Amino acid sequence: AQSVTQLGSHVSVSEGALVLLRCNYSSSVPPYLFWYVQYPNQGLQLLLKYTSAATLVKGINGFEAEFKKSETSFHLTKPSAHMSDAAEYFCAVSILNRDDKIIFGKGTRLHILP
């Protein structure tokens, strides 16, 4: 069965610094991968998704993620953190034409230091 592992339940970066949130997946077949963000008191919002096209995926708010099959990773990055990026981020996986459900990781809370 597919699964995702997010390394670090809390990550702190300084404003202006690189954001790197790690996600590794487990799947026996090519997966579809997602990053969602949850801002305080709001629902989850899709940041970006990988669906077997380009391996480098660009999302909203300056975020991007790279699918690396050899490393079974889909890490999320942003070159320069902004205070408004403080939120919880969820990596997720789905297998098309299987059960087609979204399997979420445990989430990583990103803290931005002034």
Partner 1 sequence: EAGVTQFPSHSVIEKGQTVTLRCDPISGHDNLYWYRRVMGKEIKFLLHFVKESKQDESGMPNNRFLAERTGGTYSTLKVQPAELEDSGVYFCASSQGDRVAYNEQFFGPGTRLTVL
Q: How far is the CB of 52 from partner 1 (least distance, A)?
A: 9
Report the alpha-carbon distance of residue 67 to residue 96 in Å, rounded.
17
Residues in a beta bridge with 65: 57, 76
Using CB under 8 A as the binding rule, whether residue 101 contacts partner 1 is answered as yes
**Which one of 2, 27, 73, 94 is in contact with partner 1 (CB under 8 A)?**
94
d(CA 12, CA 111): 5
Site membership for partner 1, residue 109 (CB under 8 A): no
- Token readout for 28 is 């026996």
Task: Provide the binding-site residues for partner 1, judged by CB under 8 A.
Answer: 32, 36, 41-46, 49, 51, 90, 94, 96, 99-107
